[in-house]
Structure 1
Amino acid sequence: MSPKRAKKTATKRVFQALPENTFWIDSDAYDRRVYGHLRSESPSLRALEEHGSTFLPHFGSLLQDIFCLLFKANVIFYPANEVLSSALLNEKFLQAIGQGSQYEFLREQTLLNDARAGLSTLLLGERLLAQIREEKLLSRRDLRDLWNIQKQEELVNQKREEYENAETIPEENLSEDGKKALDKARERMTGEVQGAEALLRHKTTQLKEDLKQIDAKATNRVQAEAIKVAQELEDATEEAETWGSTLGTGEKSPPGQKLELGRRLAGNEKLKKLARMVGRMKFHSLALRKKVFERSSEEVLEVERGDSIHRLLPHEMLTLHHPVLRKDFYRRFLDQELIQYSLRGVEEKGKGPMIVCLDGSSSMAGDKEIWSKAVTLTLLEIARKQRRLFRSICFSSAETPLQVVEMNSRARYETEMDKVMDLAEYFPGGGTDFEKPLTEALECLKKSQFKKGDIVFITDGECQVSPEWAEEFRRKKERLGFSLFSILIDVGSSSLGTLKEFSDRITTIKQLSGDEAKDIFLKF
């Protein structure tokens, strides 16, 4: 009698897990933290990631890789077998950026500089996304293949998880039929996993072949975009620093804010001209104000001790003529113990808001717009130093909504850069209506706890106002105690009629330069 054969025990199949990594560049905790802070502080970067992820799998990973490629001192790529196949295109982009002389030029500006590396990442990401959307780098079929591979990777992981779950089912309490059914299910799942893996390998192989076909074309296009970014980056960061120093609070701006500012300045010639003009106006106006108001804008507050010769009390000056007391005068001068007046400047007193009504009609386009906004932003800096609230009202026709921007906060009266940029970029065009912005300015002044507010009205045109409105405006102006200073750009005296109805002072500007504006700043 032949011996019974031992029952064959089914062996558990062990499948090799897919990589979980979608990044190509090795990053440490510091790199990820720096990029994470930039991402959290930059709405533009987050919006780009969200938008790009609808076109390309792992677009967010691509952005972080670009940042690391530009920011890190030591760039190390992961081996291909440690990265998901659906991220293969990202490697092609990164290799293209990292080749050629433009990469070294970029690296000189971005190495270990989070703000510049972040701005470069944003600009490159936007340009790559534009190329992808226009199908200049790869076709719609290639994109569909990438998404199919990502879905296939998800399917492989799902089938493996089902197989692993089936392997954990205990067989002790199962009947023979139950065990047979479980074995069949496991065999079926094994086949499904193997089939899904085979299909994934096939699709990956096909994708690699397709990427070889587009490799040269994509490399050239990506490098061309990188060259443009390298050229823009230097100008954009310099202009961002100019804006920060011209309209900043004196504190260091966070990298995310610098990134946003650089993004808005990149390639925007109008904003660059505006930044330069604001810088010139601010320098000249503040120097002139300091010189003119050094004494005339101050009043005696109290008596104090110090060494300011021009503020000494008369009896202190008499001691200089006494042979004995003269030596005591010198001693007290060195010790800052002389009795002098304490002066308080006008800028230290409580004042009402400063409101600038800015004409945004079509005739203001070009140099007039830049000059008028430079005046507005210089007045904003003066208001900040005087600790005054500042509101800008950009107007055009009666049908166009006003752009009303509170430019500084009451807590510290510091400039809010986002609002500055909103004002700088906004230009509605259209016709001209005076009543609507001035009525809005009145509403602001009514809410102020201080009187002696100022309205600055900048326009280049003529607009009729009703006699009833003009009479009511003058009555409210007298009651609220504010001044209205109008600036008329590039027009003759024949156009002053309407402004004379409600203005305290009118200045006519013939040349759009900083010198023409200097007298304006002395009024505040």
Structure 2
Amino acid sequence: MPGVLKNIDYRDPVVRYRGQKIVDNLKKLTSQSEVQLELAVDVYYSLYLPLPVLEELDRVSIASTDHYEVIKTALNDYEFRKLRYYTVADAFASVAIGTLFLFNFLEELKTEEERRGQLGAGKSSGRPQEQPKEEGEGEGNKSRDLRSSVKNALKKTTEYAETIKELQYFVQGYRAGVGHTLDLDEDVTTTLKLVKNTDIKNILKFLTRIPDIRSIMRKRKLVYQRGEIEGYSTGSDVERIAPTELAYPSIYLYTKIAENKLLIYNKVLYMSMGPIYVLLDKSGSMDGNKILWAKATALALFMRCRSERRPFYIRFFDSEPYKLMRVRVNAKPSEVLKVIEYIASIRNGGGTDISKSIITACNDVIKIRSRELSDLIIITDGEDRIAKSLVRKSLAYAKVRLVSVMIMGENSDLREVSYKYLKVTRLSEKEMLNVVEAGE
């Protein structure tokens, strides 16, 4: 028998595909011996199915006894039931968490094997070799070690399960503020590497506490007869007539048209909006919670761009501007993850040159050639003096509104050249939302 779960057709191509995804991801994460496809399939469906059921032990082949022990231990473990809260009926989460569990399980087996090897070497060098143990006793120890490895692997996996789910929400769009869904199935290994970054975990905690970003969405619109339906009103424009009006006798219909009381659709055409460009200070003074809050705010602004279908740009700076990262409106999940990884990997350090960073950003916007007015949001705590006249000219030429966010400080020069100037006195979710709302 190939697997140990009831009602699973192990020859079905879709079933094998799910297991193969886990096996392929493990190959990218570890160079250890290959995991059996059937074990990967059983791990996936143990996480995915609402009620996975084990086969009876007498129907399991002797070769699959260890396999049966792994799945049985997992299904009976409390930590595994906690994991299923994140994975039931979710293909991506089942693959990602299943991969992480098997990775941790292999690591536990390797550690246990090394421990036994060191123990055996110590005994053989210390005293004459003992008689081999009874077969039943050896099997019992092996089974006990296997169960212990499964339980330890589950505990390690549970530490990251919530972060995996939060990252999935952020990228795919289930969390408030993002209106469309992206497929993350090809980016499991990148996701698993990201969730082990401590900054990512703390940033996502910030983002989960802010209110629904859709409530502050702004979309410029134009009334247009052939646009998108937004609601209802009354009038006499028969081109926008609601179908229910046609059910009336013709005399009533003509009367409504004459009296301007015809039920019609409100149709609008949504106009494109310029990009949001974030300049984020990474100088030495932006330490601890300052840089963490600034990174979370940048990602909150990115969420707003996704909901409003606007391009998003971010550049870090200290005394020099760093690499520019861009996320298109129709970005792939790998591009979104790349930006998140970039934001999380930056560490603070260096001086501060605000003028140079703003002028560089304006040059970037000019190269983008957006016809719409753009928002440039600079997040800093620096009190650097600014070349005001040069900065003003750059902003005007690039058609950019400068929104300055000053973290626990004051910069009078920056205040003078800014379209909006915000002072952050507490690194809270409320202050973060104020920054997100500041862009036009």
Task: Answer yes or no: same fold by TM over 0.5.
Answer: yes
Counterpart selection for 1:31 from 15, 32, 43: 15
* Cα distance in 1 between the residues matched to 2:380 and 2:304: 21
Q: Which residue identity lines up with residue 207 of structure 2 in the other structure?
A: V
Which of these residues, 201, 215, 237, is aligned with residue 287 of structure 1? 215
Q: Does 1:66 align with 2:50?
A: no
| 1:457 maps to which of 355, 378, 386 | 378
Q: 2:364 aligns with which of 444, 454, 466?
A: 444
Q: Would the aligned equivalents of 1:454 and 1:484 in 2 still touch at CA under 8 Å?
A: yes
Distance 1:312 1:419 in 2: 52
Answer yes or no: is 1:507 the counterpart of 2:422: yes
Q: Secondary structure at the match of 1:394?
A: strand
Instruction: After TM superposition, give the deviation of residue 458 of structure 1 in Å.
Output: 0.5
Measure the CA separation in 2 of the matches of 1:476 and 1:378: 27
CA distance in 1, matches of 2:299, 2:169: 16
Partner of 1:121: 98
Matching of residues 319-358 of structure 1 within 5 Å: 328=256, 332-336=260-264, 348-349=271-272, 351-358=273-280
Could you tell me the percent identity over the aligned residues?
18
- Which whole-Å CA distance do the structure 1 matches of 2:414 and 2:358 have between them? 12
Superposed displacement of residue 480, structure 1: 2.2
Alpha-carbon contact 2:22-2:98 (below 8 Å) kept? no
* Deviation by residue 1:345-377 (Cα, 9 ceiling, x = unmatched): 6xx14x443210112345434443343234323
Distance 1:254 1:140, change over 3 A: farther
Match of 1:131 in 2: 108
Match of 2:434 in 1: 518
1:441 partner letter: A
Q: Which residue of the partner structure matches residue 349 of structure 2?
A: 430
Distance 1:25 1:282, change over 3 A: same
* SS of 2:179 mapped into structure 1: coil
Matches within 5 A, 1:1-150: 25=4, 27-29=10-12, 30-37=14-21, 45-48=26-29, 51-53=30-32, 57-59=33-35, 61=37, 63-64=40-41, 66-71=43-48, 73-76=52-55, 79-80=61-62, 93=70, 96-98=73-75, 100-103=77-80, 106=83, 110=87, 113-132=90-109, 135-139=111-115, 141=117
Shift in CA distance, 38/406, structure 1 to aligned 2, threshold 3 Å: farther
SS in 1 for 2:377: strand
Give the one of 290, 311, 315 matched to 1:368. Answer: 290
Question: CA offset at residue 428 of structure 1?
Answer: 1.5
* Counterpart in the other structure of 2:312: 390
Question: Deviation string for 1:55-86 (max 9, x for gaps)?
Answer: xx333645455335545634458523x57xxx
- Which is greater in Rg? 1
AA matched with 2:347: P
Whole-Å separation in 2 of the counterparts to 1:271 and 1:68: 28
- Checking the alignment, whether the CA contact within 8 Å between 1:92 and 1:215 is kept in structure 2 is yes
Q: Which residue number corresponds to residue 482 of structure 1?
A: 400
- Distance (whole Å) between structure 2 residues aligned to residue 474 and residue 208 of structure 1: 83
Structure 1 residues 282 and 437, CA gap change in structure 2 (3 angstroms): farther
Report the AA paired with residue 32 of structure 1: R
SS at match of 1:393: strand
**Are 1:25 and 1:68, in contact at CA under 8 Å, matched by a contact in 2?**
no
Amino acid at match of 1:120: I
CA gap of 1:287–1:392, structure 2 versus 1, over 3 A, is same
Counterpart CA distance in 1 for 2:300 and 2:78 is 41
The 1:251/1:379 distance shift into structure 2, 3 A limit, reads closer
Judge conservation of contact 1:355–1:454 (CA < 8 Å) in 2. Answer: yes
Q: Distance in 2 between matches of 1:445 and 1:114?
A: 39
Task: Identify, as 1 or 2, the structure richer in helix.
Answer: 1
SS in 2 for 1:402: strand
Partner-residue secondary structure (3-state), 1:447:
helix
- 1:505 CA drift (Å): 3.3
Shift of 1:263: 3.7
Which residues of 2 match residues 462-473 of structure 1 at below 5 A? 462-464=383-385, 467=387, 472-473=390-391
Supply the distance in 2 between the matched residues of 1:129 and 1:440 (Cα, whole angstroms).
49
- Hey, what's the Cα distance between the residues in 2 that align with 1:234 and 1:281? 17
Tell me, what secondary structure is at the counterpart of 2:175? Answer: helix
Contact 1:464-1:498 within 8 A present in 2 as well: yes
- The amino acid that maps onto 1:488 is M
**One of 418, 421, 424 as aligned partner of 2:340:** 421
> Could you tell me whether the CA contact under 8 Å between 1:299 and 1:344 is conserved in 2?
yes
For residues 248 and 31 of structure 1, the distance between their equivalents in structure 2, rounded to whole angstroms, comes to 34
Instruction: Name structure 2 gaps, 5 residues minimum.
Output: 119-132, 238-253
- Mean CA deviation greater in 217-226 or 479-488: 217-226
What is aligned with 2:124?
A: none
Q: Is the 8 A contact 1:137 1:217 kept in 2?
A: no
Q: How far apart are the structure 1 equivalents of 2:185 and 2:146?
A: 30
Q: 1:449 to 1:232 in 2, by over 3 A?
A: closer
Equivalent residues of 1:357, 1:437 under 8 A apart: yes
Counterpart of 1:18? none
Q: 2:261 aligns to what SS in structure 1?
A: helix
Change (3 A) 1:223 1:484: same
Contact 1:389/1:413 (<8 A) preserved: no
CA shift, 1:497, in A, is 4.0
After TM superposition, give the deviation of residue 118 of structure 1 in Å. Answer: 1.7
Between the aligned partners of 2:258 and 2:199, the Cα distance in structure 1 is 57
Cα distance in 2 for partners of 1:497, 1:139 equals 63
Consecutive unaligned residues in structure 1, runs of 5 or more: 1-20, 143-204, 314-325
Distance between the aligned counterparts of 2:211 and 2:421, measured in 1? 21
Distance 2:11 2:230 in 1: 57
- C-alpha displacement of 1:95: 5.7
| 1:100-148 deviation per Cα after TM superposition (whole angstroms, max 9, x unaligned) | 4445555576456433332332221232344355x34544849xxxxxx
Amino acid at match of 1:476: S
SS in 2 for 1:59: coil
> Cα–Cα, structure 1 residues 231 and 388, in superposed 2: closer, same or farther, change >3 Å?
closer
Tell me the amino acid that sits aligned with residue 240 of structure 1: Q
Specify the SS of the correspondent of 1:119: helix
Residue 441 of structure 1 aligns to a residue whose secondary structure is: helix
Q: 1:274 corresponds to which residue? A: 203
Give 1:427's aligned amino acid. I
Q: Is the 8 A contact 1:356 1:457 kept in 2?
A: yes
Contact 1:488 1:509 in 2 (8 A): yes
* 2:411 counterpart of 1:496: yes
C-alpha distance in structure 1 between counterparts of 2:176 and 2:186, whole Å = 13
The corresponding residue for 2:150 is 222
Alpha-carbon spacing, 1:114–1:343, altered in 2? closer, same or farther (3 Å): closer
1:280–1:112 distance in 2 versus 1, CA, 3 Å: closer
